[in-house]
Amino acid sequence: MEIVKRRQLAKISKKPINKTVKKSKSSPINKAKVNYVIDIFLLISFVGVAITGVIKVSVVMDFLGLSWGQAPMPLLSTIHDWSGVIMVILVAIHIALNWKWLACMTKAMFGKHDAKVCDAI
């Protein structure tokens, strides 16, 4: 019985731990899928910040032929602000999920080890 447990432990320990984010004990979520979803929402929030930020610039307002009274500035400001807040939160989550890789690449950039080591993370 002890040999079986050791073999099972050896199999488990060879699996990369950071490739999954545990949702519960029974169903792990793939880290790549989590990153993908976060990146999609980052893109959406970035587009919201970028578009509303560009529209709020007076040169663009003049180019579009709009005056400050015609544009829904309170709505644009609300969208701009909340998109920015969401983007900051998502960036923090993204950095936290990829912290080991960032640390590894930083060490590789300063010559501590080869960057190929970081591909496995």
What tens digit of pLDDT does each residue of 54-107 get?
888 777 777 777 776 777 888 989 999 999 999 999 999 999 998 998 988 888
Let me know: does 65 contact 13? Beta carbons within 8 Å.
no
Task: Give this prediction's pTM.
Answer: 0.65
Q: What is the pLDDT of residues 1-48, one digit of tens each?
A: 445 444 554 454 454 444 545 555 555 678 889 999 999 999 999 999
How do strand 20-22 and strand 28-30 relate by DSSP bridges? Answer: antiparallel
